């Protein structure tokens, strides 16, 4: 067998393997301890969207001024968020104080590749349905 051909094929296999590899991405959401209920729901929606996409989420609570003397407020907020998204992800690192911030990392239950495949399948069925609706409307 030709050595050049062998090198080319092995390079192509390596390239294909890299293409199918999923990159671990960490998204960050920043909160404050005295967050409004509607704002909390909005931020929770972002966390849900990131976890559904298969990304990890780093939740940071920023304390300012006198809030630093009440870290239990931030801890309770992080626990509440973890309970709200428990069906999509799990707590990868428990809440810990880091200077003025409290940090927690939530990981998704499903891997990035699974989420991509699921999203592509949903898009394909949606496109098929819309194409069928278009054909029915023309007839």
pLDDT in tens, the chain (139 residues): 689 999 999 999 999 888 877 777 899 999 999 999 999 999 999 999 999 888 899 999 999 999 889 899 999 999 999 999 999 889 998 999 988 999 999 999 877 777 777 888 888 888 777 766 666 666 6
Distance of alpha carbon 7 from alpha carbon 103, whole angstroms:
47
Per-residue pLDDT at 19: 81
Q: Is 90 left (phi over 0), alpha (psi -120 to 50) or beta?
A: beta
| Longest CA pairwise span in the chain (Å) | 74
Q: Give the separation between CA 51 and CA 90, rounded to whole angstroms.
A: 10
Global pTM? 0.71
Number of Cβ within 10 Å of residue 54's Cβ equals 23
Q: Where are the beta strands (DSSP E) in the chain?
A: 26-31, 56-62, 89-98, 101-108
CA dist 125 and 40 (Å) reads 33
Are 83 and 23 a contacting pair, CB within 8 Å? no
In the prediction, which pLDDT does 136 show? Answer: 66
Residue 45 confidence (pLDDT): 94
Amino acid 24: pLDDT: 76
- Please report the pLDDT score of residue 120 as a whole number: 81
CB 44 within 8 A of CB 59: no
* Residue that the structure tokens 């709200």 belong to: 84
């Amino acid at each position: 067998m030709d050595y050049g051909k062998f090198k080319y094929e092995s390079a192509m296999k390596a390239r294909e393997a890299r293409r199918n590899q999923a990159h671990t991405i960490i998204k960050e959401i920043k909160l404050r301890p005295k967050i409004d209920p509607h704002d909390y729901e909005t931020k929770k929606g972002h966390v849900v969207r990131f976890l559904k996409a298969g990304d990890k989420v780093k939740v940071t609570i920023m304390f300012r001024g006198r809030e630093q003397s009440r870290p239990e407020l931030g801890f309770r907020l992080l626990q509440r968020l973890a309970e709200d998204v428990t069906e999509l992800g799990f707590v990868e690192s428990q809440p810990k104080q880091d200077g003025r911030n409290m940090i927690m990392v939530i990981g998704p239950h499903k891997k990035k590749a699974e989420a991509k495949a699921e999203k592509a399948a949903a898009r394909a069925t949606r496109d098929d349905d819309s194409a069928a609706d278009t054909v029915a409307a023309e007839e």
